[in-house]
Amino acid sequence: MSLIPLTNKKLKKIVCVYQLDYINGKSPGLGDFLRGCFYVMQLSKLLNLEFDIDFSNHPMSKYIESHQDKNCSINYNNLEFVKGLNRPPHLWYDPNIFMNPYFANEIVNKLNNYKNSDTFSLLSNAFPINYNFLDEGRNFVKSKLTPNKFMQDYIDLTFNELQLEKNTYATIHIRTGDQYLTKTRNISLNYLNQIITQIYKIVVPNKKYLIISDSNDVKQYFNLKPKFYVVIREIEHLGGEAIKLQGNKTNGVMNTLLDFYLMSYSNAIFSMTSYGHVSGFSHYCSIIYKIPFKIIDN
């Protein structure tokens, strides 16, 4: 089975939109969204369509440069989360090209039947077709994540507070689970000790390590320990499925983006996760900014 032809001659562009709510569900985390952007970008290229990313209807838009196409009309109240992963979970990082034709053709059918405008908008969290990422694609996604002046000043201030210079450290990203991020559960001493043991297996003398985590308990342990650098601030899950925004308070969103940007200036990324799959938050940061990436067994 192959990719069916695109017959909608009016259609010019596909836009991946990140917001909290869709007509059939809520958004996943930022890493999953960025993963889906690479899938849709690659599919768009196969279909000879333009591609774009839109953060303008998400709370994180307050902290990034605005790149919204003023000529692009998007009905944010009528967007679909097109669910499907393209690859089986065990092939999440298989270097070979992989395209599930059933899932791809589901999207093409939606494109062919879409008559509202020349731009089709959606959410996807699918795994990419091809992991041979081109600099053109990386740089495009990076441009959409450019911090605005307020956010850049906050990043620079944090570097000064940490007494840490860009590109002189590795980042260790410890993903304990949404239950700890949303504070529905406290981390156990046994689990904390397990994390500590694994971390000390990979650190080497005379190297600096930035610790970022969804658990402040983990960060508290490494705070003030030699060679470790820690920022302890309230963070927030960026997906609509778990975000806990209260009114207009978005400091948690700002601090989660801070973690992402601090990680983007590291010279290596180590990722530990309690889930059976890699963390998209750190993995796609490594892909976008071309940073060596390694998974730590948990």
What does DSSP assign to residue 23?
A: T
What is the reported pLDDT for 215? Answer: 86
Convert the pLDDT of each residue in 244-266 to its tens digit. Answer: 775 556 699 999 999 999 999 99
Domains and CATH numbers, the chain: 13-140 (no CATH), 149-295 (3.40.50)
The DSSP bridge partners found for residue 26 are 21
Paired sense of beta strands 170-175 and 268-273, if any = parallel
What is the reported pLDDT for 238? Answer: 93
* Residues near 295 by beta carbon (within 8 Å), at least 6 away in sequence: 270, 271, 272, 273, 278
Mean pLDDT computed over 195-220: 92
Mean pLDDT computed over 161-188: 79
* Band of residue 188 on the pLDDT scale cut at 50, 70, 90: confident
Closest CA to 33 of 45, 15, 46: 15
Q: What angle do CA 43, 49, 54 make, to 5 degrees?
A: 80
Share of the chain above pLDDT 90, in %: 76
What is the reported pLDDT for 183? Answer: 52
C-alpha neighbours within 13 Å on the C-beta side of residue 171: 29
| Burial status of residue 237 (CB atoms within 10 A of its CB: 0-12, 13-18, 19 or more) | buried
What is the reported pLDDT for 83? Answer: 96
Phi and psi at residue 87, to the nearest 5°: -100, 150
What is the reported pLDDT for 70? Answer: 60
The pLDDT mean for the chain works out to 91
Does position 15 have pLDDT exceeding 80, yes or no? yes
Mean pLDDT computed over 282-286: 97
Q: Give the range among 68-72, 85-89, 137-141, 203-207 with minimum mean pLDDT.
A: 68-72
Tell me if 30 sits within 8 A of 238, measured CB to CB: yes
Does position 182 have pLDDT exceeding 50, yes or no? no
Residues 23 and 19: their CA atoms lie apart, in Å, by: 11
Convert the pLDDT of each residue in 77-109 to its tens digit. Answer: 999 999 999 998 788 888 899 999 999 999 999
